[in-house]
């Protein structure tokens, strides 16, 4: 596993990182289609309240996920994708900068 991570850390291929970002954005869009927006909006606001320490909102979020396996799967996958996106953007920008510094225009 460590070798694979090192390979990714050393990858300066802009297209690779841009393609991953596009793939992840498309997957997030697909997941959003599987849930209705009013409910998603309510869940998001409940999650915000839960993060701010509201115990009732924490219980609501736990019950919501425990009572709907499909929704739990969607929310878990979305959370993972949103967690990964900033890192993908970091590596994309890093590869762009690296390539600009090492391959200046003629």
**pLDDT score of 27:** 96
Q: What is the pLDDT of residues 37-76, one digit of tens each?
A: 787 888 889 989 999 999 999 998 888 877 888 888 888 8
Q: What is the pLDDT of residues 85-101, one digit of tens each?
A: 999 999 999 999 999 99
The model scores a pTM over 0.85: no
Of residues 49, 47, 51, 83, the one with CA closest to residue 65: 47
Cα 22 versus chain centre, distance = 12
Q: What is the pLDDT of residues 2-12, one digit of tens each?
A: 888 888 889 99
DSSP code at position 10: T
**pLDDT score of 71:** 81
């Amino acid at each position: 596993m460590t070798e694979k991570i090192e390979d990714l850390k050393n990858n300066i291929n802009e297209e690779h990182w841009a393609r991953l970002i596009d793939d992840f954005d498309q997957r997030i869009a697909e997941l959003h289609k599987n849930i209705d927006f009013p409910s998603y909006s309510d869940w998001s606001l409940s999650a915000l309240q839960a993060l701010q320490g509201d115990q009732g909102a924490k219980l609501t979020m736990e019950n919501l996920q425990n009572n709907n396996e499909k929704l739990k799967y969607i929310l878990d996958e979305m959370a993972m994708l949103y967690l990964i996106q900033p890192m993908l953007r970091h590596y994309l920008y890093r590869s762009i900068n690296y390539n600009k510094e090492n391959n200046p225009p003629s």
